[in-house]
Amino acid sequence: KSISKRIMSALPKKNGHHQKFTICVEGNIASGKTSFLEYFKDTHDVEVIEEPVNKWRNVQGGNILAKMYEDPTRWSLTLQTYVQLTMLQNHVKSQEKTIKLMERSIYSAKYCFVENLHNSGKMPDLEFAVLSEWFDWILDFHKCPLDLIVYLQTTPEIVYDRIKKRQRKEEQTIPIEYLQTLHNLHEDWLIHQRKFPVPCKVLTLDANYELDYMHKVFEENRKKIICDSG
Ligand code: DGT
């Protein structure tokens, strides 16, 4: 913690106060984003905003995440509309501490998940068009600024095994091809940077290791993560 305090005190100040920053962690399903947030959640002057996945599993009693996996053609638009809303709520949530750390973003929802559903024919063109117009309008209006993306890079095989092990019931039918496609979309966006705008700097971490080793990787990169956001 004292290291973090020292790092934080080196961050730029405006009128005697630290400027505020937002860091977002991205990566395939089961790449370890929650563990990343968990690791940094007690860091001095950092606040963590968890992904609203539990909201998606209980919308006024209905589980639209499960419905999307069961019947994507019927339920993708419903889920993605709600994902877009809940992500926006997290982006605009006022922040007390200097650094806001969030899991996923409105960007990966659109550039990876919506893109995949549309490309694979599960989301019709018109539904895609409506969501895209909403997305563009939201960004014009709210900006949703990020200062750093930490990309947890994994192989599809590794995350496939983790999904099998963690047994989240909605996810048990996910085929490896789905993870491969999502992986490619993350890579196109964040590594090759050729398909969609990248909203900020990107720090890529190899996240194919077990949790104990990942904690070392996180610690080694602590300074980069906190300082690169500033
Ligand atoms: P972690 O901590 O890296 O293991 O993260 P996860 O796997 O808990 O979180 P995430 O966001 O990769 O995925 C949670 C579940 O929600 C997973 O079944 C994929 C799904 N999901 C997340 N965002 C979207 C989205 O925008 N659209 C669709 N269709 N599914 C999504």
d(C-alpha 225, C-alpha 219), whole Å: 10
> Is residue 139's pLDDT more than 90?
yes
* The pLDDT value given to residue 11: 62
Residue (of 121, 136, 117) closest to 182 by Cα position = 117
List the catalytic residue out of 26, 51, 103, 127: 103
d(C-alpha 75, C-alpha 69), whole Å: 8
Assess whether the C-beta atom of 51 lies below 6 angstroms from ligand 1.
Answer: yes
* The pLDDT value given to residue 227: 73
- Give pLDDT tens digits for 161-181: 999 999 888 999 999 999 999
Say whether pTM exceeds 0.90. yes
3-state secondary structure of 18: strand
* The pLDDT value given to residue 51: 83
Please give the radius of gyration of the chain, using alpha carbons only, rounded to the nearest integer: 18
221 phi and psi angles, rounded to 5 deg: -100, 5
3-state secondary structure of 162: helix
Which protein residue's CA is at the shortest distance from atom 18 of ligand 1?
171
Assess whether the C-beta atom of 29 lies below 6 angstroms from ligand 1.
Answer: yes
41 phi and psi angles, rounded to 5 deg: -65, -25
**The ligand 1 atom nearest the CA atom of 83:** 26
103 is an active site residue? yes
The ipTM of this complex is 0.93
